[in-house]
Structures are given as C-alpha cells and as structure tokens.
Amino acid sequence: MKIVEQIKQPIDYEMELFEQKFQLSMSSKVALLNRITHYIVNRKGKQMRPMFVFLVSKMVSNGEVSERTYRGASVIELIHTATLVHDDVVDESNRRRGFFSINALWKNKIAVLVGDYLLSKGLLLSIDNNDFDLLKIISIAVREMSEGELLQIEKARKLDITEVVYYEIIRQKTATLIAACCSLGAASVKPESDHVERMRKFGELIGMAFQIKDDLFDYGNEAIGKPTGIDIKEQKMTLPLIYVLNQADKKDKRWLINSIKNHNRDKKRVAEVISYVKAKGGLDYAVAKMKEFQEEALQILQFYPESTYKNSLELMVNYVIDRKK
C-alpha cells in the first residue's frame, strides 16, 4: 500500500464525505466560476491539509469528528487553494501539479478574482456558522503567510538573511498553514483546550521540516517536482546556502553573493554554487536541522495514547522528510 493511502486509511470515510462538502462549499450562481472551481476540484493534490485536520481531531477526541471539523477542513482547503491561485499569478506560473494553472487558462484578472472568491467563501463558511474561534486560527495563518512572503522578497533584494530570519520566513510562509490545520482539528472537537496550542506547535514543527526538505530538493539528483537550482535562480536564500555563506571566507562569500545576484541565470555558475554548497556541508547541516524538527514533532505525539490516528500522524511526520517530491 502506498504510504499516503496508509496514512489516510483511518479517515477514509471522513475524507470521502469531506470531498462532497468541499465541492458544495465552492458552488456559485455564476457558470464561469463553477467551471473554474470544477477544474480546481478535479486536479486536487494529496490533500494533506484536510488529512491533518481529521487525524488530529480524531486523535484528541478518541475518534470523534463534528460538523465543525468538516467546516474547518473546508475552510483550510478553500484558503489554501486561494493562495495557490494567487501565487501562480504572482510567479507567472503556467503549470500547477502538471496541469495548466488558472491564470494560464483564464488569464490573470480572472485568476485573482477566483482567488478572492475562494477566500471570501472560506471566511463566510466560518462566520455563517459562528465558528469564530476557527476563523481566528485561519485569519492569523493568512496574515502570517502574507508577511512571510513579503519578508522573503525584502531579504532577497539584499541577500542579508540570517538563519534566525530564515526560520521566521519559513515558519510564516509554510509552517503556519500546517499549524492552523492541526490546531483547527483540535479546536473543532475540543475548543479552548490545551490540545489546541499543543497541536498548533506540532503542525508548526512539521511545517518547518517540510520546508527544509523542499529546500534540499533544489540540490537533489532525483527527478522531483521542480528542477535543480530553481531557488538560486529566483535568489531565494535557503538553509544549505545560508549555512555555507556564514562559514565561508571573504573571497568565497563574495563569489557566492555575486553568483546569486548577477549570474543566477548562468547554468554553469549555478551548478558550481550547488557543488560548493554540497562540498562545504550545507546539505548535511540542513538535514540535521530538519531531523531536529521531526524529532520534536514526534515527541509531542507521545503525549497521546496509542491509536490508529496517532500512528497515521507519526507516518505523516516521517513521510514529510522521506518523500521524494
């Protein structure tokens, strides 16, 4: 059995029901909007975020889920989809998960409006049902994701990023949404309990490990979702690079910064930077840090009694850092 199917097994029923509820939550009276949302739903990814919501919810409540859990999962997926649609416009990306992006098929103006529509649907789903505690969790995540993206853009201009700032960027950009999924799962069944903050921290740690794994793909030899060296081309400062920059002497540091700033389109130069980072231990350092986040996340799960949901979450934590794409 594939690892993702194994993780999903204890929540198969919930995920099937969630798909129906999620499609309904997107519906509109505008035919064009329905055509686009239908296109989005049929090209879904692994749906890791709703899986986190349901697994956490069932783990903290001995197998319970509520209507709030389904709404929480739908809100997270609506907001996440909205950010992806907007990201493709910002990045001028024509592909998403191997398919044409919304902006490639329907142009930027429609893509931005669809993203806004999905965002508003997510917010209204919470407001209409008085899920204000869930809405607060989501709204904080959206604010932090925007701040993280802008902080990364600001730092990319100067390339003056420290390890501390890097962790803050990935915490906001990536980890905050997974943290929201986990705290939302807990809050949907055990509102205002200690589980909510504990699970938020758990999700944040997984998100940190997840992003470092993504950074490592930039240096990988395997056939993965993105080509090697793309972060360097986009002047994104990732952990392996930050580590070697901090270790390098003045001459090497000058060469590295000059390469990233002025020669990031030169394939040969990018390949030289990748080789340098590998040779100077940048990858080993990043792997060690990623495993620290993984261990910390697994420690939090030890607070809970054995269950199929806990087993699936442990599998999920390990899958995040063992995945090949």
pLDDT in tens, the chain (325 residues): 688 889 999 999 999 999 888 888 877 888 888 887 877 776 767 788 999 999 999 999 989 899 999 999 999 988 888 887 777 777 777 766 667 777 777 878 888 888 888 888 888 989 999 999 999 999 999 999 989 988 888 877 777 778 999 999 999 988 999 999 999 999 999 998 999 999 999 999 999 999 999 888 878 754 444 456 777 777 778 899 899 988 888 899 888 888 888 887 788 888 888 889 999 999 999 999 999 999 999 999 999 999 999 999 999 999 988 877 6
Q: In this predicted structure, what is the pLDDT of residue 225?
A: 42
- CA nearest 225: which of 98, 89, 87? 98
Q: Give the helix/strand (H/E) hosting 96.
A: strand 95-96
Q: In this predicted structure, what is the pLDDT of residue 88?
A: 75
Q: In this predicted structure, what is the pLDDT of residue 151?
A: 87
In 3-state terms, what secondary structure has residue 307? coil
Is 264:191 a contact under the CB 8 Å cutoff?
no
Quick one: tokens of 116? Answer: 């806004």
Query: In angstroms, rounded to a whole number, what is the distance separating the alpha carbons of residues 248 and 225?
Result: 30
Quick one: tokens of 318? Answer: 């390990």
Q: In this predicted structure, what is the pLDDT of residue 41?
A: 74
Q: Global pTM?
A: 0.88
User: In one letter, which amino acid is 247?
Assistant: Q
Q: In this predicted structure, what is the pLDDT of residue 183?
A: 96
Q: In this predicted structure, what is the pLDDT of residue 58?
A: 96
